[in-house]
Amino acid sequence: MGSRMTADDLQAQVVRAQSGDQVALEQVVRAIQDQIHHLAVRMLFHLEDARDATQDILILVVTKLSTFHGDAGFRTWVYRIAVNYLLDEKRRRGPQLTFADFEADLNSGLAADPAPPADHVELLNELRVSCTMAMLLCLDVPHRVAYVLGDVLELDHTEAATVLGISKANYRKRVSRARADVVAFTSRVCGLANEQAPCSCERRLPAADRLGRIRRDAYAPPGTPAYEEVRRQARALQGELKVLSLQRATPQYRSSTDFAAAVRRLVADASSPAGPYLQSRDSEHGEQL
């Protein structure tokens, strides 16, 4: 959750918010905005898109709050709405990146003897994190969301299957396929997972920097696991654990915007331009549990 509120405290705030308590409503939004934002970043990759998606999803959660009856946990219910929105959002986008295309891009322009820039330690970490996350864009959307829910966010299979509205057996098949694709690609291409791979962050950094692929403190803000520590830990592991350690060695992305008050105002102001928008989006996304 986005705040330190316990599950019981959050449930109590949800009940108050359903009764019209505006202060409780703000606290509920503030408690969940970080978890939604983190999911959106891992699904969409682009930070601006994730911020916009977070706002839209929070509006959907607030407008549908009266339909939450506690048949499933509140976190599960929120993830269900978020995932339904993100699945539609990805369907509206352009052609999907493939593993073959991504591999060709990574292997182009590799420096034989790179001269590191002054801030190369920070830049290497930015490159490590952004590349680790971008490779998930090569998974089709159903497999990506299964992988993110299970291997990145660490939901158990029962909850993840409930979020996706599929059977537990189908979820296991989906996440297993996604994991196999990510492990195969990372083990073949990534120098952190395989020292014999052609691409390494050090060799890729000059081209990535020249092409504008690196945004300082964007994907690896202060507090992100350090590059050398991540490399050391990865090399101490084997197989799938090596790849999993790289996917989890990313920040818990917190929302840079506090949406609580803004979302409440949008919902409360029936005369605002958001009124028709809320009604149309409410009917389009988020199934009840």
The whole domain housing 49 covers: 1-94+259-289
Both 197 and 277 in one domain: the answer is no
- Whole-number Å distance between alpha carbons of 179 and 150: 10
Counted domains in the chain? 2
pLDDT of residue 258: 87
87 shares its domain with 100:
no
Q: What are the two backbone dihedrals, phi and then psi, of residue 190, each rounded to the nearest 5 degrees?
A: -85, 125
Contact 171, 186 (CB under 8 A): no
Residue listed under structure tokens 């690196």: 214
The CATH number for 277's domain is: 1.10.1740.10
Strand partners for 199? 190
| Pair 192, 109 in one domain | yes
pLDDT at 6: 86
**Following DSSP, what letter does each residue of 200-227 receive, concatenated?**
-HHHHHHHHHHTT---TTTSS-TTSPPH
Distances (CA, A) of 147 to 42, 83, 245: 10, 12, 14
Same domain, 179 and 163: yes
What is the number of residues in the chain?
289
pLDDT at 269: 65
Cα 26 from chain centroid (whole Å): 23
Rounded Cα distance between 212 and 82, Å, is 30
Question: Coil, strand, or helix at residue 38?
Answer: helix
Give backbone dihedrals phi and psi of 158, rounded to 5 degrees, phi first.
-65, -45
Identify the pLDDT of residue 263: 73
Q: What angle do CA 119, 125, 128 make, to 5 degrees?
A: 135
Asked if 184 and 227 sit in the same domain, the reply is: yes
> What pLDDT does 53 receive?
94
Q: Which residues of 242-272 are buried (b: 16+ CB within 10 A; e: fewer)?
A: bbbbbbebbeebebeeebbeebbebbeeeee
Q: In terms of domains, do 147 and 158 share one?
A: yes
* Residue 278 shares a structural domain with residue 197: no
Looking at the fold, whether 221 and 125 belong to one and the same domain comes out as: yes
CA-based nearest residue to 122, from 246, 224, 232: 224
CA dist., res. 212 & res. 134, Å (int): 15
Whether 102 and 242 map to the same domain: the answer is yes
pLDDT at position 214: 87
75 and 102: one domain? no
pLDDT attached to residue 215: 84
118, 239: one domain: yes
Q: H/E element holding 190? A: none
Structure confidence at residue 121 (pLDDT): 83
Question: Mind listing the pLDDT tens digit of every residue in the chain (289 residues)?
Answer: 445 678 889 999 999 999 988 889 999 999 999 999 999 999 999 999 999 999 999 999 999 999 998 888 999 999 999 999 998 866 566 678 999 999 999 998 899 877 666 668 889 999 999 999 999 999 999 999 999 999 999 999 999 999 999 999 999 999 999 999 999 999 999 999 999 999 999 999 999 988 888 888 889 988 899 999 999 999 899 889 999 999 999 999 998 888 887 776 776 664 444 444 344 444 444 433 3
In this structure, the answer to whether residues 132 and 18 fall within a common structural domain is no
CB 12 within 8 A of CB 23: no
Neighbours of 113 (CB within 10 A): 6
